[in-house]
Amino acid sequence: MCALFLTHGCSSKPTYPKENLTNAVQGLLTQEAVTGSVRVIDHTLAVHVELPGTIIQVNQQIGLGPAVEPTLQKILGALHRVVLSTDADIRFYVILLSDPSVSGAYVTIVRYVDDIKQAYASRIGIGEIFSRTIFDVHRTNQGPMSLEQLVPTDIRLEDFLSRQLAQRIQQSLTAELQTGGLATVGQCEGNFQNGEFVFTLNVLPFLNQTVDEATMQKAFQISTSTIVHILATYRFKAFESIRLVHPLTGRHLTLPKTQLDVFR
């Protein structure tokens, strides 16, 4: 899957003018025999493709189908050609894949265009670009939805970072706590409210055990270090504080931006 996230080169000429951006993407998809809907919302370019074989369901579990890889390769090729050679101010793109046989289920991919540019300039590697990608397979209770419903508003950098950081916190906690036999780690959540990043840490005890004080301290330390490192790589400073919440115990840790340098 990692290899899919960098396809096709880019030209220095803005060959895809902003006035014709949607039609340009649609035309490139048609050349690849991909049928989908395309929408531009301010600085966000969104594509939705419904195709059999993209999602599979076994009992109540959903996962990726065999059509995901070749379909993504075609969509990413079209999107990269356009966003890297246009005069439109596109900062994010969203890809949504759905399967007519699994109603309400979607594969969602969100990426920051500046990350793509850095990858093409060899400033970040394929592993890092994959880590910076928001990737989700989920199911809604509303059945089939239009692209306008799926992506109703422009994506903001702070919201993108919230979701990316939640994924990376979960990965870091899993590697350190779960692999180390200290606790189990579930899905972590992140959002940005009134200048504050808020992250929910889903750290749970193993059967017949408790999450002790040392483990909680380690969870807060790992999470904070991950957040500080990623925000520094994006040079994002438009926030006042971060807050970590552990719902199981009701504990939380709030750190103002001025105190975060110690975690670098």
pLDDT digits (tens, 9 = 90+) for 38-63: 999 999 999 999 999 999 998 888 99
pLDDT digits (tens, 9 = 90+) for 87-131: 999 999 999 999 999 999 999 999 999 999 999 999 999 999 999
Contact predicate 54/67, CB 8 Å:
yes
195: Cβ contacts below 8 Å, ≥ 6 apart: 238, 239, 240, 241
Q: Where does the pLDDT of residue 209 fall: very low under 50, low under 70, confident under 90, or very high at 90 and above? A: confident
- Structure-token match 């960098």, residue found: 6
Query: Could you tell me the strand order of the sheet in which 241-246 lies?
Result: 189-193, 196-200, 241-246, 251-256
What pLDDT, on the 0 to 100 scale, is given for residue 11?
Answer: 47
Candidate from 98-102, 207-211, 218-222 with smallest mean pLDDT: 207-211
User: What pTM was estimated for this model as a whole?
Assistant: 0.89
Radius of gyration of the chain (CA): 20
Average model confidence (pLDDT) across the chain: 91
